[in-house]
Chain A
Amino acid sequence: MTWEPVIGLEIHVQLKTRTKMFCRCPVGFGAAENTQTCPVCLGFPGALPVPNSTAIEWVVRLGLALGCEIAPRAVFARKNYFYPDLPKGYQISQYDLPSCINGRVLVPLPNGDHAVGIVRAHLEEDAAKNVHVGGRTGRIGGADYTLVDYNRGGTPLVEIVTAPDIHSAEEAKRFLQLLRQTIVELGISDAEMEKGTLRVDANVSVRPEGSDELRTRCEIKNMNSFTHIARGIEAEVERQVAVWESGGEVEQHTYDFDVATGTLTPRRAKEEADDYRYFPEPDLLPVEPSAALVEQLRAGLPELPAERIRRVGETLDHERALVLVTGGLDALWRDTVAAGAEAVAASNVIANQLVGAGVDPGGVDPAELAKLVEARERIPRQAFDEAIARVAEPGFSAAPYLAREAVSDAAALEPIVDAILAANPAQVEQYRGGKEGLLGFFVGKVMKETKGQADARAVNELVRTKLNVDV
């Protein structure tokens, strides 16, 4: 039997607002522990939350970019559980009335667009950071005690929940690449998995291909890159298929994916799982964004990455289009092509050499890059690499690097020299008749033809050889 994976994703995005969700403590990495805290985010009695207007605008902006309906009325609720990273004893989160619902993202894939439903996108606050001290591994189990830093507590988070519309690890990865680039371009988050500003959990089940049943799903957590997510999903799909095929039954469970070993470790089951006793947060008023605000935010949306992948894909193949757009490189590619570079060559140079050299694409003058792209076959590889490494430096000029073509590549100069000699038969005759001072005349012509970019010594030598040999 062939099995089809059924995957839904839950994504948490830390917004890069200046202040927290419900208080005006600054948000940011690097501050000393607990120095970005106040009575609100420490959960002191009597402190009252006030929502961050920028976070509210940004979740609407994101919702619009994900094709969501924007709720005319959203309500914050209390999600109750006891854990030291949550000083109030509850997390404030939109629950039954989230800001954004019923979205749809069209993910460009090599064989066309694939629709992924967005069930919801809602606002909530992040938890604090626990450091488990002592014990065998320093992890939760067996720790001697726990230290808590509340700086992160209360940072605005958006949670995005997709429908189970994803059917392979590869599709999941592509969806996430697109989502990440969309978030980055909206300017609402750095969305970096290594920093934890983008976190992804995957709900995975499998079913016989062709059926539309939904079997028991398992959740995988603790994956910190798109590649790891893809591998985690693959491992979980493999595990579930093996269970069903051996006549067993998949049981609902949560797993941590260990990248080093490629294995899934079950998390300890919570005794009182998911009994959060949600109720509307009495300290906060409903969020009712006006139609005017929503329309203003909609009008302010940039052209989104999915549209650009499709557009770039009209010129390049899908894979190249995807790499350029999700790498934030397509604007430079477009301008480099406009400046005269060939499309595929420009894409290769930008996506491979430029990125490989760690060059900031924003600092590159497309006109100079276009010259390098066009010269890449002619000039020595070393000159090309040196030029690429420096192409983002202020005032960079490709000319000195292009000049190095003559030294190592006489073959490129030869046709020019031949053409100059052929165009000036009288002077050739005079030279051969003994008027050797005419050498400079020919060299000057060649230099002019090559716009001063040829190496004069190499040209000299070539012209002399030609005049002396081709009698």
Chain B
Amino acid sequence: MAITAEQVLHVARLARLDLTDDEVERLTGELGAILDAVSKVSELDLSDVPPTSHPLDLVNVWADDAPHDSLPLEDVLRNAPASERGLFRVPPTG
């Protein structure tokens, strides 16, 4: 298996996901299968291939430092479950 249940739980904790034992078992299998599939790449000899961070053969795509309009506040908060005085309201952190 390419991934252990402990690793799945660790990543779940980082992602603030609360998984049941059944979900841990299922995801360990599914994630393992994905990792196995990806690891096929390592069977190739890639010693001559430089690390690639992007599939496009482009660099330096930048924009001028000129402001555009921001979103109206109404739209900014439209999907917020809770807001207060123009601020997003979220559960206490820490």
Contact = CB atoms under 8 A, between A and B. Distances in A.
B66 interface: yes
B37 interface: no
Contacts of B85: 33, 147
Contacts of B65: 17-19, 52-55
Contact of A286 (B53, B66, B67): B53
Interface string A279-295: 01110111111000000
Given A51-B62, A145-B92, A268-B94, A285 B71 contact: no
Contacts of A150: 76, 88
Nearest to B64: A53
Contacts of B60: 285-289
A272 interface: yes
B62 A141 contact: no
A280 B54 contact: yes
B70 A26 contact: yes
A25 B69 CA distance: 7
Nearest to A39: B71
Q: Choose among B10, B70, B87 the residue with the greatest number of A CB atoms under 10 Å from its CB.
A: B70
A33 B90 CA distance: 15
Contact of B58 (A146, A277, A285): A285
Nearest to A54: B65
Nearest to B50: A73
Interface in B6-34: 10, 13-16
Contacts of B71: 37-39, 42
Contact of A52 (B16, B63, B87): B63
Interface stretch (A78-86, A214-222, A302-310, A325-333): A78-86
A32 B88 contact: no
B36 to A, nearest CB: 19
A32 B14 CA distance: 33
Contacts, number: 138
Contact of A18 (B59, B66, B73, B77): B66
Given A19-B65, A52-B65, A143-B93, A148 B87 contact: yes
A130 B66 contact: no
Interface in B40-76: 53-54, 56, 58-68, 70-71, 73, 76
A314 interface: no
Q: Which interface residue of B15, B66, B86, B93 has the most chain A CB atoms within 10 A? A: B93
A150 B61 CA distance: 25
A75 interface: yes
A134 B84 CA distance: 14
A134 B59 CA distance: 48
Nearest to B90: A84
B70 A287 contact: no
Given A143-B93, A147-B87, A285 B67 contact: no
Given A148-B88, A285-B59, 16 more contacts: A36-B70, A37-B71, A50-B61, A51-B62, A53-B64, A84-B88, A131-B87, A132-B94, A144-B92, A147-B84, A147-B90, A280-B53, A284-B54, A286-B59, A287-B59, A288-B60
Interface of B: 10, 13-16, 53-54, 56, 58-68, 70-71, 73, 76-77, 84-94
Q: Return the 9 tightest CB-CB contacts between A and B, nearest first.
A: A280-B53, A140-B94, A54-B65, A53-B62, A147-B87, A24-B68, A26-B67, A148-B88, A143-B92
